[in-house]
C-alpha cells in the first residue's frame, strides 16, 4: 500500500509554490488534463470537475430563470464583417480570435471567427426581435464555450484558450433598467460564490480604462487567491447604447416614438472552478463545499475478518438511508484497500464528510463523522443520520466560509501614498485600498514596478449611480479623489 | 384584431407542402431563425425550442447518470494529425470539416478541425485513463455542438452545419460488454421518443455499407415523418476494436495480460426537436406533449367589464394552485387581446392544455379544459385542479402517441420483389420491408430510381447477436435472405 499512499499526497506547498501546488491538485484529484500536442492552452475537463460545473450551472441557471432570463443558442461562428460592426469589440478581441478559413474542402469567402464572446452575433437578432416597448426587457442567455487565443502559460480553469461560461445579453427601454439588470446579475454572481462556493467576494466596478470593450461600465466580483492575487470572478456590463447603435436595436415607445435601446451583457466562466479549487484546497488535495461536491459523503467501513459482515451491513444501511434522502453518498467497501488509503483518497478527491464505521460504532449504535478539511471528528448517534449529516454539511460550509472570510478581511489594507501602496503590496500582497482620482495615469506608478493594478472600485452604498464625495486626495497625484481604488496583482 | 389573427395562422398545408409547412411553423412559433448572411446553414435556436431541448437533455441525462455515465468536456478543436489516426473517420468526415488555420494573428503550424464528432480526441484520453480491468467500463459523455459542412439546403434541426447533440464514448473489456452498452443507449433513445416525445420509433441496425465510419455496427432508432420519409433519430455504435487499436486503449486483465479494449459511441442530436415538431404539429402551429412543453397550461380568463374582477380572481387562484404544484402555467390576463386571439396564439405556440374561465365557470365552480391538438373541450370541477390537469396531460400524451402509432403502423408495408418495392414506395412512401441478402448491390436497384435506401434492418428478438434464419430469398437477387430490410426515403 505504501506506494499507493505516496501517490495520493500533494508534494508542493500551497503557501510557497501556489502555482505548482494548484497544478498538482488539479492533476491528482482528476479534475483536468492538458490538451493534446499542438493544442497547448486547451484542457480536458474530467468528470469530477465537470460535475462541480454542472452544480454551479444548476444553481445559477435557476436564479436566471426566476428573474426573467430565457436560454437560447446562437451560432459558434461570427462572420468577420459582424465582428467589425462594433469597433471596440473588434479592437478588443481581434488579436485573440481563432479564424475558420476553410470548410467543406473550400476556402471561405469571408473568415469566420470562433466566438470570443457573442455580442456581435446576438445583438443583431435582438434587434429583429425588439419592435415595441412591450418586447422589453428582452433577456437571453447561453451556456457555451468561447475561444480566446492568449499566448500566456496555461493554468487550468484560469487561463485556457477555450473556456466554458454563460453569457447573458439583454435589452432595455431605459438606462436605469439596464443598470438594474447589471446589478441583479452581479448580485447573483456574488451569491454563487458566497452561498454555493463558500467564498466571500468583493463587489465593485472596473476602472474605466479596464472595462469590457464597448461597455459604459463593467461591474465585477473579485475573489482573493491564496497567493495574494485577485481573480476577476464574474463581470456584468452596462453596455449603454453602443451596441444598440451598432446593431440598430430600436423600439417604439408608448407614444409610438422610435427610441434606441440600452443593453447589458454578463458572464461567469469556469474560472469559478479554478478560484474554488485554489481557495479551499490544501496539501491533502481538493476541498469542496457540500453543495457542489459530486460525492458528499464517503462511508468507510473498518473491519476485521470476524466483524466484516456486521460492519458492512450496518454501513450499507447508513449509506442507503442517505442515498434515499438524495444525499450523494459512496459506500467504500472495496477489498484490498486499507482504511488509511481510503481516507487519503477521499480527502484527495474533496469529499466533504467521511463516516467511519467499525465494530465499536456498530455496538454502540453510533457513527464517527470526520470533516474535510480540518479533520474534526465527531461521534453521533445512528438514529436520524440524514438530519445529522445535513447539520454537518452546514458546519463544513460554515468553516470553509469563515476561513476564507478571515483571510480576505486580513488581506485588505489601506495606504495613502505611492510608497505606502508599493510597500504594502510588496510585503503582503492582497488588496491595498487607496483614494484615487480616477485617472489611468495614476495607476501607472504602481503597475509599472509592481505589476499590480486597480482591480476594483467599490460602489458607494452598493449603488453604482450614487456619486462619491470623499474629502480625500488621490494617493498618487494629490488631485481630488473621487473614488477608492483597490490595487492588487491579478490573474 | 383581424390582422393579428391572420398573422398567427399557418398558411402552408402539412400534407401537401410538408417542407414549407415545417419552415413556417418553425418561424411563426418562434423556434428558430436562420443564421446571418455569409453563414447559411446555421440557425439561431430561440428560447421556445431551446427550452424543449433542455427538457430532453434533463430526461436523457438522468438516464445516463443512472446507468454509469459521467459527463465531461473535451476541446472544441482536433489537430489534423489526430483526426487522421483512424482512417475511416478521416475519410468519412474530412470533406465536411471546418478548419481553423489562423489564430492569435498567426498562421497555425497544424490545421485544427472544429469537431465533427469527438472520437479522435476523446479516445486518446480514454487510453491514458484505462490501465487495468478495474478501470472498465469507462463511460464519458459530453453535451456540445459539432460542425459538419454539408452543402445541402438548410432545414432547422434537421440539416444545419452546426448542431447540438450529446456524444457518449465508452471502453469495455469485452465485445459483449460493448454490445450491452450499445443496446442500453439505443433503448434510452427509444425511451426519449416514446415516453417523452410521444413518438413510436423503429429499432434496428444500419446496413453495413451505411455504418458510422470505423464502426463494427451502427444501431439506430428511426422515426417516420409526415411526408413518408424516415429520420435517423439516434445512433449507437459498437466500434469494435478499431479505435482502441488506432489510439492504443489497452488494459491488463485479471491475469496481468495486456488486452485491447472494445469501444462504443452514441449520439442524439437536436434532430429530435425537428422530428418532434414535424410529427405532432398541424396547421394551427406547434404541438408539444406536456412533458417537454415550456408552457404546459394557458389559463385564459374571459370577461366583460362587469365580470372582470371575479373572473380574474378565480383564474388567478387556479393558476396559483397549478404553479404551486410545479406545473408550468401562464395566466394570460392581457388587456387589449380578445380571447380568440389568445386561443390562436397559445395553439400556435404549442401549449398542450388551455383552461377557459368565464362567468359561468366561476358561478358553477368549474373549468373548461381544451386539449391541443384536437380541440376537445371538457368541463371539470374546480376542486382538485392539479390532479385534473395531470390527468389531462396523460390524455393529451396518449392521444399524440396513439395518432403517431396509427400512422406508423399504416406506413409499414411488405413487398417481395423489386417492382413491388418500387411501386409501393412510389405510391405510399413510408417503409417497405422486404427480405434482403445483405449485399449493398441489392440496394442499388431501389436507390437509383427512387432515392430510397435501406434505412434499417431490425434485430431478431431485439438482440443484435441473434442470427436470423429466414426461409426466404432476397427480393432483388433471389439469393438467400439473411435479413429483413426496411426501405424508405430518408432525411
Are the CB atoms for A487 and A454 separated by under 8 Å? yes
Closest Cα in chain A to B45 = A73
Q: Contact B149/A35, CB-based, under 8 Å?
A: no
Position A8 scores a pLDDT of: 76
Q: What is the DSSP letter of B431?
A: E
Q: Which of B82, B104, B133, B295 to mutate to test the interface with A (most CBs of A within 10 A)?
A: B104
Are the CB atoms for B467 and B460 separated by under 8 Å? yes
Higher pLDDT, A23 or A90: A23
Name which of A252, A281, A337 is nearest A15 in CA terms.
A281
Please write the tens of the pLDDT for every residue from B179-201.
999 999 999 999 999 999 999 99
Position A253 scores a pLDDT of: 96
How far is the C-alpha of B58 from the C-alpha of B261, rounded, in Å? 30
Are the CB atoms for B243 and B83 separated by under 8 Å? no
Name which of A35, A300, A311 is nearest A156 in CA terms.
A35
Chain A contact for B128, CB < 8 A? Answer: yes
Interface of B with A in 95-124 (CB under 8 A): 95-105, 109-112, 114, 121, 124
Q: Report the residue from A33, A121, A147 with minimal CB separation from B125.
A: A33
Q: Contact B97/A103, CB-based, under 8 Å?
A: yes
pLDDT, mean over chain B: 95
Closest Cα in chain B to A121 = B36
Q: Which of A1-15, A263-277, B348-362, B445-459 has the lowest mean pLDDT?
A: A1-15
How far is the C-alpha of B102 from the C-alpha of A98, rounded, in Å? 6
Q: Is the pLDDT of residue A3 over 50?
A: no
Residues B65, B68, B69, CA angle at the centre, nearest 5°? Answer: 60
Q: Contact B102/A99, CB-based, under 8 Å?
A: yes
Are the CB atoms for B70 and A47 separated by under 8 Å? yes
Please write the tens of the pLDDT for every residue from B374-408.
999 999 999 999 999 999 999 999 999 999 999 99
Q: Is the pLDDT of residue A1 over 50?
A: no
Please write the tens of the pLDDT for every residue from B216-235.
999 999 999 999 999 999 99
Class of domain B297-402: alpha beta
Position A2 scores a pLDDT of: 39
Please enumerate in sequence order all residues whose Cβ is within 8 A of that of B187, keeping only pairs 6 or more positions apart, or say none.
Answer: none
Position B482 scores a pLDDT of: 82
Please write the tens of the pLDDT for every residue from A224-255.
999 999 999 999 999 999 999 999 999 999 99
Please write the tens of the pLDDT for every residue from A108-154.
999 999 999 999 999 999 999 999 999 999 999 999 999 999 888 89
How far is the C-alpha of B203 from the C-alpha of B198, rounded, in Å? 16
Closest Cα in chain A to B129 = A30
Fold of B30-280: BirA Bifunctional Protein; domain 2 (3.30.930)
Please write the tens of the pLDDT for every residue from B147-164.
999 888 899 999 999 999
Q: How far is CA B376 from CA B277, B352, B392, in A?
A: 21, 11, 11
Average pLDDT over residues B57-83: 97
Chain A contact for B254, CB < 8 A? Answer: no
Position A92 scores a pLDDT of: 86
Please write the tens of the pLDDT for every residue from A178-202.
999 999 999 999 999 999 999 999 9
Q: Contact A70/B79, CB-based, under 8 Å?
A: no
Are the CB atoms for B167 and B265 separated by under 8 Å? yes
Cβ neighbours of B421 (radius 10 Å): 24
Position A468 scores a pLDDT of: 67
How far is the C-alpha of A304 from the C-alpha of B35, rounded, in Å? 66
Percent of chain A at pLDDT above 70? 98
Position A475 scores a pLDDT of: 94
B-chain residues within 8 Å CB-CB of A47? Answer: 70-72, 140
Q: Give SS3 for A197.
A: coil
**Long-range pairs of A114-117 with CB within 8 A, sequence gap ≥ 24:** A114/A76, A114/A77, A114/A146, A114/A147, A114/B76, A114/B100, A114/B114, A115/A74, A115/A75, A115/A76, A115/A77, A115/A78, A115/A144, A115/A146, A115/A147, A116/A146, A116/A147, A116/A148, A117/A89, A117/A93, A117/A146, A117/A167, A117/A265, A117/A267
How far is the C-alpha of B15 from the C-alpha of B407, rounded, in Å? 13
Are the CB atoms for A290 and A353 separated by under 8 Å? yes
How far is the C-alpha of A117 from the C-alpha of A101, rounded, in Å? 19
Position B1 scores a pLDDT of: 36
How far is the C-alpha of A47 from the C-alpha of A33, rounded, in Å? 11
Q: Contact A104/B150, CB-based, under 8 Å?
A: yes
Q: Quote ipTM for the complex.
A: 0.96
Q: How far is CA B356 from CA B4, B208, B288, B360, in A?
A: 21, 54, 19, 10
Tally C-beta pairs within 8 A across A and B. 155
Q: Contact B74/A44, CB-based, under 8 Å?
A: yes
Which CATH number describes the domain made up of A412-488?
Answer: 3.30.110.30
Q: Contact B50/A42, CB-based, under 8 Å?
A: no
Sheet of strand A453-458: strand arrangement: A70-71, A138-147, A162-172, A262-269, A230-240, A217-224, A202-205, A453-458, A483-488, A431-436, A412-414
Chain A contact for B44, CB < 8 A? Answer: yes
B-chain residues within 8 Å CB-CB of A45? Answer: 72-74
Q: Contact B75/A162, CB-based, under 8 Å?
A: yes
Distance in Å, alpha carbon of B54 to nearest chain A alpha carbon: 9
Average pLDDT over residues B416-431: 94
Closest Cα in chain A to B53 = A72
Position B3 scores a pLDDT of: 41
Chain A contact for B477, CB < 8 A? Answer: no
Q: What is the DSSP letter of A459?
A: P
Helices (H) and strands (E) in chain B, counts: 15, 23
How far is the C-alpha of A332 from the C-alpha of A312, rounded, in Å? 10
Chain B contact for A337, CB < 8 A? Answer: no
Would you list the DSSP string of B320-333? HHHHHTT--EEE--
Please write the tens of the pLDDT for every residue from A285-314.
999 999 999 999 999 999 999 999 999 999
Name which of A215, A210, A217 is nearest A242 in CA terms.
A215
Distance in Å, alpha carbon of B9 to nearest chain A alpha carbon: 19
Interface of B with A in 71-90 (CB under 8 A): 71-77, 79, 81-82
In chain B, where the domains are located: 30-280, 297-402, 412-488
Chain A contact for B7, CB < 8 A? Answer: no
Q: Where are the alpha helices (DSSP H) in B262-417?
A: 271-280, 308-324, 339-348, 359-364, 385-410
Please write the tens of the pLDDT for every residue from A406-445.
999 999 999 999 999 999 999 999 999 999 999 999 999 9
Q: Is the pLDDT of residue A5 over 50?
A: no
Q: What is the pLDDT confidence band of residue B468, given thresholds at 50, 70 and 90? A: low
Fold of A297-399: Rossmann fold (3.40.50)
Q: What is the pLDDT confidence band of residue B465, given thresholds at 50, 70 and 90? A: confident
How far is the C-alpha of B76 from the C-alpha of A114, rounded, in Å? 10
A-chain residues within 8 Å CB-CB of B39? Answer: 75, 77, 79, 112
State the CATH architecture for A14-280.
2-Layer Sandwich (3.30)
Amino acid at each position: 500500500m505504501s506506494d499507493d499512499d505516496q501517490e495520493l499526497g500533494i508534494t508542493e506547498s500551497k503557501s510557497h509554490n501556489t502555482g505548482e501546488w494548484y497544478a498538482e491538485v488539479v492533476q491528482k484529484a482528476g479534475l483536468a488534463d492538458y490538451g493534446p500536442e499542438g493544442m497547448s492552452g486547451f484542457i480536458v475537463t474530467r468528470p469530477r470537475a465537470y460535475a462541480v460545473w454542472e452544480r454551479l450551472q444548476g444553481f445559477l441557471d435557476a436564479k436566471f430563470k426566476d428573474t426573467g432570463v430565457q436560454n437560447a443558442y446562437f451560432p459558434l461562428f461570427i462572420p468577420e464583417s459582424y465582428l467589425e460592426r462594433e469597433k471596440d469589440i473588434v479592437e478588443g478581441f481581434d488579436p485573440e480570435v481563432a479564424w475558420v478559413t476553410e470548410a467543406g474542402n473550400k476556402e471561405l469567402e469571408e473568415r469566420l471567427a470562433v466566438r470570443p464572446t457573442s455580442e456581435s452575433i446576438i445583438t443583431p437578432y435582438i434587434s429583429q426581435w425588439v419592435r415595441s416597448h412591450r418586447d422589453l426587457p428582452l433577456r437571453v442567455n447561453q451556456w457555451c464555450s468561447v475561444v480566446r487565443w492568449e499566448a500566456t502559460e496555461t493554468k487550468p480553469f484560469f487561463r485556457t484558450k477555450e473556456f466554458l461560461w454563460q453569457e447573458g445579453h439583454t435589452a432595455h427601454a431605459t438606462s436605469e433598467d439596464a443598470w438594474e439588470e447589471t446589478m441583479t446579475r452581479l448580485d447573483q454572481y456574488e451569491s454563487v460564490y458566497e452561498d454555493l462556493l463558500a467564498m466571500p467576494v468583493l463587489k465593485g466596478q472596473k476602472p474605466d480604462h479596464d472595462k469590457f470593450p464597448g461597455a459604459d461600465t463593467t461591474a465585477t466580483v473579485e475573489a482573493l487567491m491564496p497567493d495574494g492575487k485577485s481573480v476577476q470572478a464574474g463581470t456584468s456590463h452596462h453596455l449603454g447604447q453602443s451596441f444598440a447603435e451598432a446593431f440598430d436595436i430600436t423600439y417604439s415607445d408608448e407614444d409610438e416614438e422610435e427610441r434606441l435601446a440600452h443593453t447589458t451583457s454578463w458572464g461567469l466562466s469556469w474560472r469559478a472552478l479554478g478560484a474554488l479549487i485554489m481557495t479551499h484546497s490544501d496539501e491533502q488535495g481538493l476541498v469542496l463545499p457540500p453543495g457542489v461536491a459530486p460525492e458528499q459523503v464517503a462511508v468507510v467501513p473498518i473491519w476485521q475478518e470476524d466483524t466484516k459482515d456486521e460492519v458492512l451491513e450496518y454501513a450499507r444501511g447508513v449509506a442507503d438511508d442517505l442515498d434515499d434522502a438524495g444525499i450523494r453518498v459512496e459506500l467504500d467497501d472495496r477489498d484490498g484497500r486499507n482504511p488509511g488509503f481510503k481516507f487519503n483518497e477521499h480527502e484527495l478527491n474533496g469529499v466533504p464528510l467521511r463516516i467511519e464505521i467499525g465494530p465499536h460504532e456498530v455496538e454502540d449504535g453510533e457513527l464517527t463523522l470526520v470533516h474535510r478539511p480540518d479533520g474534526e471528528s465527531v461521534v453521533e448517534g445512528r438514529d436520524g443520520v440524514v438530519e445529522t449529516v445535513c447539520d454537518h454539511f452546514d458546519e463544513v460550509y460554515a468553516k470553509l466560509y469563515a476561513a476564507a472570510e478571515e483571510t480576505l478581511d486580513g488581506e485588505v489594507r489601506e495606504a495613502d501614498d505611492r510608497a505606502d501602496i508599493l510597500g504594502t503590496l510588496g510585503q503582503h500582497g492582497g488588496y491595498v485600498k487607496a483614494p484615487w482620482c480616477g485617472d489611468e495615469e495614476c495607476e501607472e506608478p504602481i503597475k509599472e514596478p509592481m505589476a499590480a493594478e486597480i482591480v476594483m472600485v467599490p460602489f458607494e452604498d452598493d449603488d453604482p449611480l450614487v456619486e462619491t464625495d470623499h474629502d480625500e486626495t488621490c494617493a498618487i497625484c494629490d488631485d481630488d479623489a473621487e473614488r477608492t481604488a483597490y490595487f492588487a496583482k491579478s490573474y
